[in-house]
Structure 1
Amino acid sequence: MNKFRVGGVVAAAAMIGFAGSPAFAQTNATVYGESARPNCAHSSKGVFEAEGEWFHLTDTCADGWDVVMKVDVAPYRSDGGYDFSIWNTGGRGSTKDVNKAYDEGTGVCVWAGYGEASSGEWAGFGPGSCGVA
C-alpha cells in the first residue's frame, strides 16, 4: 500500500512541475495554391514550420508555372499586404526551403499560389493559414 502512495506523490509532483513550465505556443501552417490545370488538385504546397522558423514551398503540378508563397509576419498588415514572397522555379516535385528567425510567439501567415517569377506576376492563391513561431 505504501508503494502506491509514494508513486502517487511522485506522479503528482511531476504533474505540478509540468504545469509550472512555460507553454510553447508553436504551431505550423500549411496552405495549397489553386491549380491552373484540371488534372492537378493544387499548383503548390506552402508550409511554415514553427520549429526553427522554416518555410517550405513545393511545386505540386507539371503546369509550366513557377510557384510562390506570400508571407505576412506579425504585426500583420491591415491592407492585405505581406512582408515578403518566396519563389520556387524548380518545376514539379521541387521544394524551396527558406530559414528565418523570429521571436517565440510571433505570428506568421502564409498563402500559396502560382505565377511567373521572371515577371513577378502571380495568381491562384488559395486560402491562407497562420502559425506561431
Structure 2
Amino acid sequence: MRLSKQPDEVSAAAILRAFSDENRRTMLELVATKEMSAGEIAGHFTVTRQAVSQHLRVLKEAGLVEERRDGRSRLYRTRADGIAILHQYFNNLWSNSLALAKEIAEAAEVNTHGDNDQGAEGESANHEQGMPG
C-alpha cells in the first residue's frame, strides 16, 4: 500500500463536505468497525437504496471509504488515509482554538492586573480631588 501525500486544502474541503451530512457520518460509523455491503448499510436507513448509493459514492470520492467487489456485492470500509485527513483537520482546529484561548486568557490576565494597579491609583487621585471613584 502506498502512503498518501500530506493533506491539501482541496482534499480536506471535499472530506468536510462529505462529512457534513448526517447520513454519511452514520455510514462512516457503520463501516468503521466492519466491512459492510451496500445492502447491509441501506438496511440502517429509511432513504432509498439509490440515495444510499449516492452517499457512498460521495464518501468514496472524498476518500473516506473504499469499495471492494466480492462477486456481485460491493463491500465498503473506512479508508484510513481519508480518516487521517479528517482527524488532522479537527486536531489542527482544536490546537489553534486552544492557542487562541490561551492568548485571550493571558491578555485578560495582563489587563486585569494592569487595570487593578492603575485603577487603584486613579481611584485614589480621584478621591483626593473629591471626584467619585
Pick the TM interval, shorter chain: under 0.3
Structure having the larger proportion of residues in strand: 1
Relative contact order higher in (CA < 8 Å, ≥ 6 apart): 1
Bigger radius of gyration, 1 or 2?
A: 2
More helix by share: 2
What TM-score do you get using the length of structure 1 for normalisation? 0.22
